[in-house]
Amino acid sequence: MSLEWEQVVVDAADPVALGNWWAEALGWLVINDTAEDFEIRPAKDRLPGMIFEPVPEGKSVKNRLHLDFRPDDQEAEVTRLLALGARPADVGQGEQTWVVLADPEGNEFCVLRSRHH
């Protein structure tokens, strides 16, 4: 038996805006740009991707699942993401080697330090 990871599905108040934000943040391609099914991927035929789907309710609590990213330069990447519209997030992490940020709709994600640190 095999199992292939296809997508991460993200609920969004504005799927197009949030999907475009993540496409810019990750340097990914927009595959489908409808408000009902906005999809991005690292490359046209490469998975996994992310799909942004509309929901009427806003985010109200900490994510139960989040993404971790490991850049070459943590400080530079955090600065870049903040300039794109991410914001610092406090989920009770305390002092850690990673930085918790939230996307424009409040979904938390972590920027880890470089493996070469």
Q: Are 87 and 101 in contact (CB under 8 A)?
A: yes
**Residues 5 and 47: beta-carbon distance below 8 Å:** yes
Other beta carbons less than 10 A from residue 113's beta carbon: 16
Domain count, the chain: 2
- The answer on 81 and 30 residing in a single domain is no
What local confidence, expressed as pLDDT, does residue 30 receive?
98
Residue 78 resides in a domain: yes
Residues 76 and 43 grouped into a single domain: no
Q: How far apart are CA 24 and CA 59, in angstroms?
A: 22
42 and 86 assigned to the same domain = no
pTM, to two decimals: 0.90
Residue 12 lies in a domain: yes
- How far is the C-alpha of 27 from the C-alpha of 16, rounded, in Å? 16
Q: What is the pLDDT of residue 117?
A: 66
Which candidate, 55, 57, 58, 50, places its Cα nearest to that of 109? 50
- pLDDT > 90? residue 22: yes
Same domain? For 113 and 81 the reply is yes
Give the CATH number, domain containing residue 106: 3.10.180.10
Q: In 3D, which of 71, 69, 73, 64 has the Cα closest to residue 109?
A: 69
Is 3 in the same domain as 33?
yes
* Owning domain of residue 8: 1-56
Averaged pLDDT for residues 10-19: 96
Asked if residue 61 is part of any domain, the answer here is no
**Averaged pLDDT for residues 27-35:** 95
Taking only the tens place, the pLDDT of each residue in 75-103 is 999 999 999 999 999 877 777 889 999 99
